[in-house]
A = this chain, B = another copy of it.
Amino acid sequence: MKNLLEIGEGLCRDENVVIGYATERIDQRQPLSLGASARLRSGTVIYEGSIIGDHFATGHNVVIREANRIGDRVRVWSNTVIDYGCRIGSNVLIHCNVYIAQFTVIEDEVFIAPGTMVANDKYPLDKENLKGPTICRGARIGVNSTILPGIRIGRDAMIGAGSVVTRDVPDGMTWYGVPARDAG
């Protein structure tokens, strides 16, 4: 299969950046489309098979797996991994040392602080029920949070640092703790 890359104008990449890395999930092999004015820092690896908008920026040692759809002006900072099959909106900032599980949905204007870990199986390795969370427009997730699968974090909701989010968070609310609850 031809593995076409479409890369927009104005790409700025450091040395030691890989664009269009081959996935071993053979049925997922698709071209990579990367928009204009991307800024990719050293150690970044972007797999084939994603569609990424304009002004995409990465820190160092970022891994973006295949089959992702990513909007415009998305920034992903150092040592973060975006696993495959996610949908990410525009104007999203995903900070350092974060892991975004397969099939996570992140809407526009979301901020995810360093060390956040997103799960997509209720129990580890429960492959029958893989379902990422949905983090709605404008939500902000504090450092080192844990987000369980299938959950909806509402629009403009805020999650305090170190929280474990096990239930849906309503729009506009601030929750924190283990498990996360309404901060009142």
- Report the nearest B residue to A118, measured CB to CB: B143
Task: Report how far A40 CA is from B118 CA in the complex, Å.
Answer: 25
Contact A97 B124 (CB under 8 A): no
Q: Does A101 contact B (CB under 8 A)?
A: yes
Bound-state CA distance A60–B62 (Å) is: 9
B119→A143 contact, CB < 8 A: yes
Determine the chain B residues whose CB is within 8 A of the CB of A117 once the complex forms.
97, 113-115, 143-144, 161
Which residues of B have CB within 8 Å of A50? none
- Name the residue on B nearest A44 (C-beta): B60
Expressed in whole angstroms, the Cα–Cα distance for A118 and B161 within the complex equals 9
Chain A residues within 8 Å of B, Cβ to Cβ: 14, 16, 18, 21, 41-43, 45, 59-61, 63, 77-79, 81, 83, 95-99, 101, 111, 113-115, 117-119, 123-125, 140-144, 146, 148, 158-162, 164, 174, 177-178
